[in-house]
Every structure is written in C-alpha cells, then in structure tokens.
Chain A
Amino acid sequence: MKTFLRNISTIVIVSGVLLASCKKDFLSTKPLNQASAEATWSDPNLSTAFVTELYNGLSTGLLDQMNNDCLTDNALYNFGKQDIMEGNVSPDHLSGLQDRYEWNAMYARIRSANISLENLAKAPLDSALVNRLEGEAYFMRAYFYNQLLRFYGGVPLVKSSYSATATDFTIARSSYEDCVNFILSDLDQAAALLSNKTMDKGRATTDAALALKARVLTYAASDLHDPAKLSTISTVSGFAHPELLGYTTSDHDGRWTKAQAAAKAVIDLGKYGYMLNLSAPVSATDGFTNYQNSYLSRNGGEAEIIFARYYSNAKDEWGAWYGRNNCTNGYHGWTSSEPTQNLVDDYEALDGTGAAHDFSWNNPVDAATPYANRDPRFYASILYDGAPWKPRTPDGAGIDPYNEIQMGTYQTGSASAPVAYFGLDTRNGPLENWNGTRTGYAIRKFMDPNPAIVDQNTRSEVPSPQIRFTEVVFNYIEACLELGDEATAKTWLNKIRFRSGMPAVTETGPALVQRYRRERNKEMLFEEQRFFDARRWMIAPTTLGNKVRIMKITGTLKAGKTVPIYRYNTDNYSYTYTTQEIDPGVENRAWADKVYFPPISRDEMNKNNKLVQNPGY
C-alpha cells in the first residue's frame, strides 16, 4: 500500500512537472515590433499612420536620378541608353520603367488603399476621422490607378484586397473607359469626404482631388484615346482589344467639355497660383525669379502646389539627393538627367523690344550668341556654358574661381602659344569626367540655388510638386483650344508667359495649338508631363522619335589675348557653337508605334492568364 501510494504520488508529481512545462502560452510569443491589424484599426493614430503610408507610393516624386523627361525629347540619361527610346522594349526587356508607373509597385499601393478602405468602413473611430482617412485613401487609390492608366492603358481594377488563402488571383484588364470612370468615382468620393477638412501639408485635399480629376479628364479627352485617332496607330489598327486603350465611341466635344469644367472648377477655387494675375510681362530678371520661385515652391511659389511630395533634412531620402545626382561633374555631381539641344532650341529668343521669336540656327544673331536673350525660363531651368552657378568645391575653385559652368573646349595661355583646356563640367575635364554631360547641358530646375547647399554631399529640401496649379491652367487652356475658345485660351496662356517675362502670344488656329504645346513643355519641364503629352497628342514619332542633338563649344583665344585661368569672356575668346546628333552608340533614338503603350512584363503575363498584352509585342 505504501509503495502504491508512493507510486501514485510520483505519477502526480511527474504529471505536474510535465503539465507545467507544457504551459500552453509558452510558445505564444508576441510580435514586439509590429502593430496588429486589430489594434491599428481601432486606434485613431495608428489608422492614420497606415493611411499616411500610401503617400510613400509617390516614391521620389519627380526628383529621380533619371528624370522621366529622359524618356522624352527633353533630356538624355547619362548612364546607359534607354531602349524604350530606340523602340526596343519587350515584355522581357522593360527598359526605362520608373517605379512611379511600375506595375508591381502601383498594385502594392493599391492593395494598401483597399485595405484602408475595407478596415475604415468598420473601424470604431470618430466618423470625422474615418471620413478624412477614407478620403485620402480614395484619392491615393485614384492617383495610383491613374499612373497605371496613363502608362499602360486600361488595367485590372482590383477593388478589394486579396487574402493570401485566395485560390484564384487572375483578373482581366478593364476597359480604358471603365478605368477612367472608376478613377473619377474615387476622386469624387475623395473630394466629398475631404471637403471642409483642414489637411496637413503633404496630404491629399478636396482641391487635389479636383485637380487630379482635371488631369484624368484631359487625358481621356485627348486624341490618343479617341477611337478614330487611336486606330491610326499602326500597332493598334489590328488589335483585338482597342477598348483597353481608349474609348469605343467618339465624343470629342463632350469629353473636352467635361475636362474644361473640371479644370475651371479648380481655377474657380481662387486659392492657387503664383503671379498669375499679371496683365503684362515682368522683366526678364523678375521672370527668372518668378519661375524659380514657382518650381522651388518658395517666396510665394508655394501657391503653385496643389499636391506635393515634401522632403526634410530629418530623413535621408533619394529624392533629396537630386542635387548631387544631377549637378555637374565639376561640382562632383553625376549629371544624370541632361537636357538636350532639342529642348534648348525650343526656348524662344527675345529682342531688345521685348518681342519674342522662335530661336533659329539660321538666324546669325541667334547662332552667334545662342545663350543670350532667351526665354527667362531657359536660364532658370538649364545650366549651359558660361552660366553662373554655385561656388566650386576647393579642387575646382582654383580652376574656376568664377563659379561659371564650363561646357566647352577652350584655350588658355597666350593666343600665340595656346594650351588646350577642357571645361570643368565636360567629359574631358579634370574632375570625375566619366560623370560629365554628353549633351553640353545640365539641369538646374528643382536645384536649390542656395550656395550653402553643397550638392555633392548635402541633401536639399526642395519639394516635388505632383500637381501644380499651372498644370490645371494648361489643362483648361487645352480644353478651351479644343473647344474653339481661343480667346480664353490665350488669356491664360499669356498669364503664364507674363509671369516669366515673356510677351503675349500672337498665333491663332493650329499655330496657337503648337504654341500652347511648346509653352506647356517648357513651363512644365521635368515635371513628368512630356512623356504623356507627346503620346496623347500623338506627336511622339516626330518628337520623342527624333535623334538627340548635342552642343559642342570651342573657345579660341582672340589674337593677342593671354588668359591664365579660363573664364567665359567674348572679349578674349571667339566661340563656336556646333550642334550635332549624338553618336548612335550612346542612344540611337527611333520611334516605334508599339511604345505608345509600353508592355506588361512577361512575368506578370505568365502569372495571370487573363491579361491581354498591349499591341505590338
């Protein structure tokens, strides 16, 4: 009996030990570094944080190392040819695809927007906050869908988030029209939900929703999406699914009327715009300053911003290195996005009376002094030979104590025994010449001119405007032109020109449309417009398809002159300016109709058998 009891007690003890070691929650460790969905969507701050993350989908905004304009006639990328510009993209070879349009990146953000909307709908939070957050989520979902739509055409409309346990992930592309309507509906929701809300700088607003709506409607009304015009594209003519790329019925005036009304609604808010109330051109100096203020969003230029992506020194982000990535090698920069001669030639020239004419190399005055008396926006946008710029770093200061851009090959010493001298900002210069420009130009737009910002190792806080008021005005002008209201169009076009010191336009009819298009391109340079404008106006073959032209400058000492340290000076030097096509091995541009609508990657096609590829691939 005693033994039995002892055995029983042993069993009890051992079982106790076993049970203790099997405490159920021993393995239930907690994630200490992550918030649960449940906690997030019942907490106002965490819910807000989730929605705020959507804005990171804007990526660098416009301020990429390779500006989107490098995929247009405006600029050339310094580091490797962009095969899309040679017409050589394919589903296996997606060249020049930037993450702001990249399929995977956009759908990842769309999923987050869907998760936000699904959870906010049932979140036990203050309804004012829920409305605001829903408004932001609708806006961003529309934004991301529009990025996809304007790049690929109609895309799959994923309206709710998939569960990881879903068995079917395939989904077909929606028609172009359905996508437009879906985006507009999201924007209407956003505008309504955000109305009368005070929004922090950087967040979506009702006004941003209205402005984006104007962009979407402008694009939708454009030639590219009109069935008659669309079908003239060689690759589209035999395409079985034109509804993916444009409307199936024509309604030119109806669509432009909607676009016009949408733009007008933003203008009528009366809250935006910088120096757009002038009735005559400002001086060239003021024009320069005004334009610079408008793109730097300072000194009143903030009023241009309807929606922007901001930078802060408190956070190291790639877009804040725009200066280092794009200033010249003579400043230890990388000159990544280089304006072309094609662009430079498009800036008008001014004469002494203030009248403007199209710059021409056949005009001997223009040709002799190509950088004199140009549209003030040229000076604010582009670093050219002789342009004053920031103090050089110490290794450049001895070579260029004058802080002027050197894009040419010059002579130093005496005219009788000249020594060849390669400009500091060229590919033969003494500083990091492999980063030198190939076109003879560098970008200045969006660079902070503050000399304290030493671009090579200092970030800048220039914001990236995503929707600028001037774009809305242009959209309005374009709608007016399409609807035959030249007077209104001219009034607004002139306001934009007056701000930068340019005289009123004189053209009418088709010439006015041409003038408008050139004006839009220069004003909105490097703002991610050209890639789409050239397509929707269907002028890509004769613009984006042109060979890149570049500038070669030589400065020869004039007789009797002696210059120990080079500086731009027409008293000492005679300059020759030669434009030439870039060597084809660098980038041999040619238009192919298929690149109107870039391809969907083979990877994604392989994963989703309902997808229809864009035509021509």
Chain B
Amino acid sequence: MEYNLHRTVNLLNVSKIALGQLLIALLFVSTSSAGTANISKTKFATSHGAALNKLLAQIKVTGKITDQTTGESLIGVSVKVKGTANGTVTDINGNFTLNVPDDGTLVVSFIGYTTAEVPIQGKTTLNIKLQSANKGLNEVVVVGYGVQKKITVTGSVTAVKGEELVKSPAVNLSNSIAGRMPGVIATNASGEPGYDGSTISVRGINTLGSNAPLIVIDGVPAPAGQTNIDRINPADVESISVLKDASAAIYGARAANGVILVTTKHGKLGKPDLSYTYNHGWAQPTVIPKMANSTEYATMVDEIDLYNLPSQYWSQAWTAFKTTGSFTRPDNGATTTATFSPTDFQKFADHSDPWGHPNTDWFKATLKDWSPQTRQNVQLSGGSENIKYLTSIGYENQDAYYKNSATGYKQYDLRLNVDAKVNKYVNTSIGVSGRQENRFFPAGESAGDIFRMLTRGYPYRPAYWPNGLPGPDIENGQQPVLITTNATGYDRDTRYVVQTNGKIVIDIPNVPGLKVTGNVAIDKYIKEEKTWQTPWYVYSWDNVTKDANGVPVLTKVARGPAQAHLFQSDEDQLSTMLEGIISYDHSFGGHNVTFLAGVQKEKSNQSYFDASRKYYASTAIDQLSWGGNTEIGNSGSAWERARLNYFGRVGYNYKEKYLAEFLWRADGSYMFPTTHRFGFFPGISAGWRISEESFFKDNIKFFQNLKLRGSWGQMGNDQVNRPNSDQLAEYAYLPLYNTNTYIINGAPTQTLTEGTAPNPSFTWETANNSDAALEGTILNGKLDFVLEAFYNVRTNILWAPTASVPATGIPGPLLPPKNYGKVTNKGVEFQFNWHDKIGEVRYNVGINGSYIKNRINVWDEPPGFPSYQTSIGHPIGSQLYYVYDGIFSTQAEVDAFNTAHPGAYSGVGESTIRVGDMKFKDIGNDNGQKVPDGKIDGYDQVRMDAGHTPTFQGGLNFGVQYKGFDLSVLLQGATGAKITLQTESGTIGNFLQWSYDHRWTVDNQSTKDPRTVDRNNQYFSGGYYDSTGKLIGGNTYWLLNMNYIRLKNIELGYTIPPSITSKVGISNLRLYANGLNVFTLAKQNIYDPESTSSDGHYYPQARVINLGASVKF
C-alpha cells in the first residue's frame, strides 16, 4: 500500500482517536462492570444469607500446571470451579490463583491435553500435571507484546531456546544463531575479541540502506548500547524469537527489517536452585591465508622486474636473471638487475643464512596455536507463590590469537529478574542487568592494520633474528610481532551497560481478562576509551656489519610515533522508555478474543568528549595532565533522539480453528520533518487449522496438526544513513552546518561546512511483507514441519540520489534521503524436525534452510546508463565487471592481436597488450548498445550479481540422548555469496601462495591465469573500490565463490547419574565438550568462507574447542 504523505497525518489522527476511544471504552467497561458487581454483592449480602455464608467459606487456592511428561509449565490453561463460571487461566509461568469453595472441584482444560478434574479437599496449593493429548501443540512462543500458543500463531515467528544456544562455545551470542532458524541469516565476518559478532539479517537484504533488525530485550526495544544481541550472556537467555513477517507490525516503526525478541530467564516456583557452569575453550583462526615462501616470493618479485622490460626480451631476460641476476637490453644497453640474485635463491633453498635469507612465516611468528577463552556463570533461582527470582552472574575472558597478545575481551555481567505478586490484582516484575565490557587492544593498530602487515610481511625478512630480538618493521614501525603486544602502549575500551526494566500488570477487578500494564525502562551506557601510544623498538641489521665473531651487529631503533600520545574519550548515553498497555481477553462459546492497545515513549540522550596530549616528559606517567602543553587536543559532541508510538492488537479465534489477528502501530520519529513524522503500520494475519476440521480429523489420522496461515503487513524503517556512510541522516530536513578547522594565522580556526542539502519532505520507508505457510505435525508428533514463502516489497525507500544528481548539482555526500526506492525480496523457507526414540536412545534430526533473492525495482540510476549496465532488476550490491575471457598466453597471439586491434585496451589503461595479460570480452559500443566495437572500455562492463550475502543459508541439526550421554551436532552452510579477491601484493608485500600457484610465467604460459603484477598496477589486476563502495575496473576473474558447509557446532555431554552425585548434594552434574566451526568444506580455501574481506586485512573467524562442566545444587 502506498499512501501520500499528507494522508499519513490523517491516519495518525485517526489512529490516535481510535486508540483513545478504545482505551476509554475499555476503562469504561471495567469501571461499570466493577460497579455492577458491587451492586450484586450488596444484593447477595442483604437477601441471600446462605449464599453469603457459602461465599465466606471460599478459600484461595494457588497452583501450578505442568506437562506431565516434560514438566513444562503450561500457560493459558483454563481453570474453572466445576459447575460455575468462576475461573481463571494460568499465567506465563503456569501459575494460577483462584478463590474456590473449599469442597469444590477444579476443571482444568487445555487444548491438546486431557481435561482433568481435581477436587480441592481444602488444599490451598495444588500442583497439577496434565496428560498431553499430543505434545507439541502446547508449545508457546514469545511474540510482540505477549506470548502465544504456537498452534494459534498466524505470523511467521521462529524461535530458538536458550538451552540450544549454550551448546555453542562462542563467547559472542550472535555467533550461536547461524543455521538454527530458517530465514535468519547470520554471517560472521571477524573473530576479533570484542568485535566478533555476526551480522544478522532477517530474510536477507530488503532495502538499500540499513538491514539491521530491531532488537527487543524483555520487551524493551533497542536498549541503549544494544543494537545487537552480541553481548547478552547466553546463560541468561530463555529464548530468542524472530518475527519475520507482518507479526512484527506491532513494532511497526522499526520492524521493517524484522524483530529479534530476546527473553531472559525468570525464576520458577520451587526451592532455590543454584547452578554453576564453567567453560574453558581454545580458539584459533579457521583459515590462515597461505602466503608464498621466500623462494616463491623472490621469484614473483623478479618477475615484476622482468615484466617492466619490453616483452620481446622477457624470455632471454628471465634466463639471464636465473643465471647472472641481471640483464642488459640489446637495444639501448640499459641494465636491469633482478631484485633477487641466483645467490639469494641458493640461500633461500639451502637455509644457510638465517640472518640474511630467512624464510619467515609471519602468521606463525605472530599467532599462537590456540588462544584460551573462559566463560563462567552462577545462577540462583527459585521462588514462592508471591515472589520469584533469578540472579545470574557471568564472567567471560577471551584472549586473541596473538602471542603475548595486547588484544582481549573481558565481560562481567549480572542479571536480576524478580517477579512479585503484590496482591490479587497486581503483579510486578523488575529486571536489572548490568555488565562491564573490557576490550583491550594494542595502541594505534587495528586488527585490520595487523593483518594487513601479516599478509604483507616479507618472507625473506626476519620476524625475529636468530638471537631472538625482533626484526625490522615492515613500515611506519608496523612489525607484527610487536604491534600485537603492549610494546606499543595500550588501548583500553571499557563499556558499562545498565539496563533496567520494571513492569506492573494490574488485573482490573471483576472484569476477567482486562489488564492494564505499565512498563518502564531506563538504560545507561557509558563508554570510556584510553589509548596510550609510546614509541617502540625494533632491531635492524645493515646486512653488512658483523662483530669480531662474525655475528651480525644489530641496531636498536625506535619506531612508531616520535612522541608518546595519550587519547581519552568518554561517551554517555541515557535512554528511557515509558509504556502503557491495556489488554482484554475474552472467551465465549468457542470465540476467543484478544484486545491490546498501548502507547510508548522513547527518548535517548548522548554526550561525548575526548582529549589528548603529546610531548610527555616521561612515559612513566600515562595521565593527561602530565602531557606537554603544545598540541593539546579535545573535542565533543551530543545528540538526542525521541520516538512516540501507539500500537495495538486484535486477535480472534474460533475454537483455535479459525485464527485471525490484526496488528497496528502508529509511529512518530524525530528523524522526519514535523509534518511527516508519523506513519501508520497495519498487519493482518489469518490461520486455518485444517486438522481441527472434522472432515480432516476423521479421515487423515496421521496428522496431529496442520495449519495454513498467511499474513500481510506494513512496517516502517527510519534508520537511514547519510550517503556512503554509517552515520544516521538525522535532521536531513534542516539546513545544518558541521564544524571543522582551517589554519589561519598559523592556528586551526573554526570553519563550518554544509551537512546536508535539506529535503523538507520525507517520511517512513515502508516494508510491505506478505507471507504464506503450511505447518504441521505428523506421525504422532514425531515430525514437525514448516513450509513457508514470503514476498517482501519495500517501498518509499529512503535513498539519496547520488547516482543521478550530477556533481554540478549537489555533491553526493550532501544529498538528503528521498522516498523513492523500491526493492522486492522473495524467498522460501523450510524446516523439518523429527524426534523419536529407539529403545533408550532418544534422538532428533532437524533441517532448515532459506533461499532468498532480492531485486531492485526502482532506485537512483544514472539516466545515461546503457540498458545492460543498469542495476535495476539486479540484487542490491551488484557491481559492474569486465568479463574475464582467458589470457593472451603466447607472444604470437599478442602480436596478432596488437596488429589487428592497436590500442584496443587503451580505454582501460593499456596501450599495447603484452603476453600474460588478461582478455576481456568485448561487449558494448560507444553508443551503449550491446554490439562489440573492437575496443575495451567502460561499455564492456556488465552487471553481475555478486554480493557478500548468501542467497541460501541452512542448517542440519542432529541430537541423540542415551542414558547420561547427549550429543548434538549442527552443520551449517551457505551458498551464493561472492567476494572479489584483491590483495596488497607485489614489491609492497607478500603474495598469497594461491597467486604463486595461479600465474602465467615465461616458462609456463598459462591460458587461464595472468602473469604476476605489482599491487594493482595493470588493467586486469582487479580494480579498486571507490569511496562510495563502487568497484572500479573489476573483472570476473577475481570473483571468489564463498559457498561452504561447516560443522558449525558439536557438543558431547555426559550427565553423571544423580544417584551418585546426590550423595554429595549435587542434583545434576554434567560434563561436556563442544566446538565451533570445527570443520569446513568450502569452495575456496584462501579465506574463511564467511569472510567479507577482499584482501585478508581482517581478524579471521574462530574455531573453538571447549570443555565445560555444569553443576546444579
């Protein structure tokens, strides 16, 4: 649905009025019915004394209802006094409270369970176990603003339980997601402690800008410091639900990219449970790029020298290089000396000169074999009828791959969830969680810098001299074995996150099912960083000087910055959320109706400052005030953000057979101009449980459940970034200026620069998501399945028209967002879970997957693009490539080509083709027609669908339990992602061994691979990405297929028989071993297949092997 901007305002008013009236109506109902009840009570009191006595004989009964076989708490179970209308339903923990006559009988009924009748017999506490008519039908799932029985859910909601997630040894929770939920795509692009999270997207890429889903933790949307699930203690997670379709519409405003709902654990009725978990793991990179050795590298560098010569001499010059090390041109007498002489090669081969001709494996010299990580957790939980609690204390410590690593991550976390029943009508819960995240890094060098230097490191130069002293840097002091340690100083990044949420639920007296809920959340986030960089020392040898014993004399050289430098920063955020919800559930004659409406306000404030000093008199004191008084630096900034939302749900089902739900949300965001601030987002869904129809039930016995469901909804997205930036395009409707400086009179003087050319009129980007699914349970509950398809159309996409507005108009970075893009994204998902037992062996097998592909329908395209180069019709992220078409492999071929097509490659930067050059397909002519014109230029590029995001991702899990043993295995895979290989190799640094193995040489004139190039100095060397992320001059030869399948997760556990452990007071003791990314099969093995880096300048993904124990008292 598309609606114009002015209608948005009207819709807002309508929705406001509707909500107001609904709230008023519900309150009106509550007060008036309360009045009626009072009046009737009075009547009882005056005219029916016997009845009054009977009432007075009532007792208050509390109870808990659980599944007989699983012990699971059952929620929403109807509990009624037999023969009366007096009744209630169980709460989220399966508890109920009811006033009943002390001699009455309770009728406990729940769909999928055998109805039970329980006589009271004066008991005030009852624990009732229901016999499952069919397990699986009573599972519940967390949805937006509530919990629903899985069988009645009409939206696309997928979930994973916390107990599954803790089977992964990953320190970062987001790394435990991949392969577990269909349509939830997780890609882990880095393993660096502190920054090792996976990028999670729900149903792939739906829009041109941010595709990040909304994170909701215990009902609080995106708490401060929490734009992902990375740092949540896995042990605290009860479940994670993902709303993939219109079921997210109740979070309208920010739900366009899906919603991830994290529910943390709460206390349960019973005695205090104390548990302790200890994990000790060892991590290593999954893949280390294999680099060339000294001989291979030297060969390639000599080839670079060779190819600088005119190509007619290559053959004889190569022979000369190999024999004498130099070549003199017969035409002009110029001599070229190869960088590496035959003597050098001899020494590389016989290892006779460890000082001058080492063979260094920089990765091996810098990285440990295994790096330890630890995770510990203590939980205490329990509760009585009126108060339940769960406390959890966690500690994580993760070391980096580097030897003597300066890099590491530590986390201390605490969670306290208390639920209290204040009185008959009032329930509250309070959640407090706090954590400290300590990230440690070497000063001034990012993981990107470090791995850049590891891939560049020359194999013929020493990491350490034979005497153990560190060798020279690669440049600017960057010596990997030093800059990974604290030799350069330190960088300490400390973050404090405190999240609190309070909830009060008031049951309106005498109106069963009517509730008023108030939520409040206050979140605090503080980030402090201190970077202290000091000069460090390498040892250099001039290749000549030796002492009396013939041992080379090394010189100690200070490298890095000339001056110690201290930088400190502080960022502070406070976010508050206030929410009021009114809800009403009512059942009559098989009709079940649910109403919910609410209003929510969110506000965040941030402030930041930093300061720096140089010229320290002594590096012994690393405090700001001890720095010198020149070149003092400081800066600061702040922001505030606000949202105001109204939302609601109307649910209806008839005998849980016909299901329907309407969700809506009216959202206001500060991101938009005043007149376009609000958007209205509706979602509808419906389901039909065919299996409940008698024609089906009576005929098809092996189906326990079969449901057809569908949904359509609109959701909004206001997370729009500035062009080619990850900064939010805030206030893009105002002409605002940013501050900068310029040197006037010898000193930096303030300047102002335009921030955005304002667009006074833009509003919500809209997701129009449709979904259809068939889900069912067959074979006596042994097989569950979900088959699902979705069709998402994102309209009004906010995008800055950088590709169509010329630079003479408005510079790209200043262009404001406009509502005009359109992207469709469709896909299919499947999930099958089988569980059964063979004798005493219980096992389960599950498989899930999703195939997703998006396509740009409308966006900003340069008007002059030839039709075959337009990105419309292609997925987001497609790029233009020249099409690799083999190699000019022989001189004869080159000569013939140059004669026939002189200057054919001039348009891509080469006047004359030489042997070993790459051929490109001739595709278009200068008029933009797809007609070859005998020359290679920009018109010969074609659009290729080659993005970093896989089109298929899936998982296969397998679990077995036998007596005390349990095994669970998760295989996960993805296909469809591609990256462009672009290393920084040549005279500047080492080559991949892959490059050595795949190259044209004078001696081996390949028809497949090009000759060695220095960095990217040839037209075919792969191009580069410009500042807007566009690939310039790339070709298809360098595209790497990133398909893979990997043993993502495996866990083997053994629970020591309680008969033994109980003797020492332990109710449960389990020992286990598990692993992450244990084994991988990939199409390419240069980088980890989840890598999104072209050049290997990143901290590789981790393989983790872990041992653990959990004890329960």
Contacts and interface: CB of A to CB of B under 8 A. Distances in A.
A83 interface: yes
A419 B809 CA distance: 64
A3 B32 contact: yes
Contact of B31 (A6, A34, A83): A6
A22 B16 contact: yes
Nearest to A309: B743
Given A162-B809, A434-B987, A607-B862, A50 B737 contact: yes
A165 B759 contact: yes
A15 B35 CA distance: 22
B273 interface: no
A554 to B, nearest CB: 10
A314 B748 contact: yes
Contacts of A603: 862
Nearest to B816: A164
Interface stretch (A25-33, A368-376, A516-524): A25-33
Given A37-B736, A104-B812, A585-B309, A53 B751 contact: yes
Nearest to A55: B742
Nearest to B741: A315
Nearest to A155: B808
Contacts of A40: 737, 752
B736 A52 contact: no
Contacts of B1022: none
A10 B31 contact: yes
B676 to A, nearest CB: 11
Interface string B568-591: 000000000010100000000000
A513 interface: no
Bin chain A's interface residue count: 35 or more
A3 B36 CA distance: 10
Interface string A22-63: 100011111111111110100001100110110110000000
Residue with the greatest number of chain A CB neighbours at <10 A, chosen from B542, B599, B865: B542
Contacts of B56: none
A35 B752 contact: yes
A114 to B, nearest CB: 11
Interface stretch (B41-49, B171-179, B419-427, B638-646): B638-646
Interface string B735-775: 11111111111111111111111111100000000000000
Contacts of B630: 313-314
B717 to A, nearest CB: 17
B28 A393 contact: no
Contact of A34 (B336, B631, B741, B755): B755
A36 B752 CA distance: 10
A201 B744 contact: yes
A275 B807 CA distance: 44
A112 B754 contact: yes
A311 interface: yes
A397 B558 CA distance: 13
Interface in B623-644: 630-631, 637-644
A34 B756 CA distance: 11
B276 interface: no
A439 to B, nearest CB: 13
B938 interface: yes
Interface in A392-448: 393-395, 397-399, 412, 419, 421, 427-428, 430-432, 434-435
B114 interface: no
Contacts of B759: 164-165
Contact of B640 (A15, A30, A46, A605): A30
B810 interface: yes
A115 interface: yes
A11 B865 contact: no
A398 B542 contact: yes
B907 A90 contact: yes
A543 interface: no
Contact of B669 (A7, A27, A112, A584): A27
B805 to A, nearest CB: 5
Contacts of B743: 202, 309-312, 315, 317
Contacts of A104: 807, 811-812
B438 to A, nearest CB: 28
A602 interface: yes
Contacts of A395: 472, 538, 540, 542, 555, 557
A435 B473 CA distance: 13
A312 B930 CA distance: 54
Contacts of B730: 31
A178 B280 CA distance: 75
A111 interface: yes
Interface string A578-603: 10110111101010000000000011
Given A90-B938, A395-B555, A458 B1017 contact: no
Contacts of A311: 743
A584 B747 contact: no
Interface in A258-275: none
Given A56-B751, A108-B807, A580 B332 contact: yes
A606 B862 contact: yes
Contacts of B543: 430
B104 interface: no
A457 B556 CA distance: 17
B988 interface: yes
B865 A49 contact: no
A607 B736 contact: no
Residue with the greatest number of chain B CB neighbours at <10 A, chosen from A88, A310, A458: A88
B307 interface: yes
A128 interface: no
A1 interface: no
Contacts of B657: none
Interface in B2-59: 16, 19-20, 23-24, 27-28, 31-32, 35
A202 B745 contact: yes
Contacts of A457: 476-477, 560-562
B272 interface: no
Interface string A83-117: 10011111111010000000110011001100100
A56 B743 CA distance: 9
A92 B926 CA distance: 12
A580 B804 contact: no
A158 interface: yes
Nearest to B632: A314
Contacts of B1065: none
Nearest to A590: B911
Contact of A399 (B20, B542, B642, B807): B542
A88 B911 CA distance: 7
Interface stretch (A166-174, A181-189, A231-239, A467-475): A166-174
Residue with the greatest number of chain B CB neighbours at <10 A, chosen from A432, A454, A606: A606
Given A90-B906, A107-B808, A394-B540, 17 more contacts: A15-B24, A29-B641, A35-B739, A36-B737, A46-B737, A80-B1014, A90-B938, A201-B745, A312-B743, A315-B741, A315-B743, A394-B556, A398-B542, A399-B542, A427-B339, A609-B863, A609-B864
13 contacts: A27-B670, A36-B736, A37-B734, A52-B742, A56-B742, A56-B751, A93-B909, A108-B814, A202-B744, A312-B743, A399-B545, A584-B309, A609-B864
Interface of B: 16, 19-20, 23-24, 27-28, 31-32, 35, 307-310, 332-337, 339, 472, 475-477, 538, 540-545, 553, 555-558, 560-562, 578, 580, 599, 601, 603, 630-631, 637-644, 668-670, 674, 677, 730-731, 734-761, 803-816, 818, 862-865, 906-911, 937-938, 941, 987-988, 1014-1017, 1033
Counting from the closest, the 8 A-B pairs by CB-CB distance are A92-B938, A585-B308, A606-B864, A169-B809, A395-B540, A606-B862, A583-B308, A53-B751
Interface of A: 3, 6-7, 10-11, 14-15, 17-18, 21-22, 26-38, 40, 45-46, 49-50, 52-53, 55-56, 79-81, 83, 86-93, 95, 103-104, 107-108, 111-112, 115, 156, 158, 161-166, 169-171, 200-203, 309-315, 317, 332, 393-395, 397-399, 412, 419, 421, 427-428, 430-432, 434-435, 454, 456-458, 552, 578, 580-581, 583-586, 588, 590, 602-609, 611
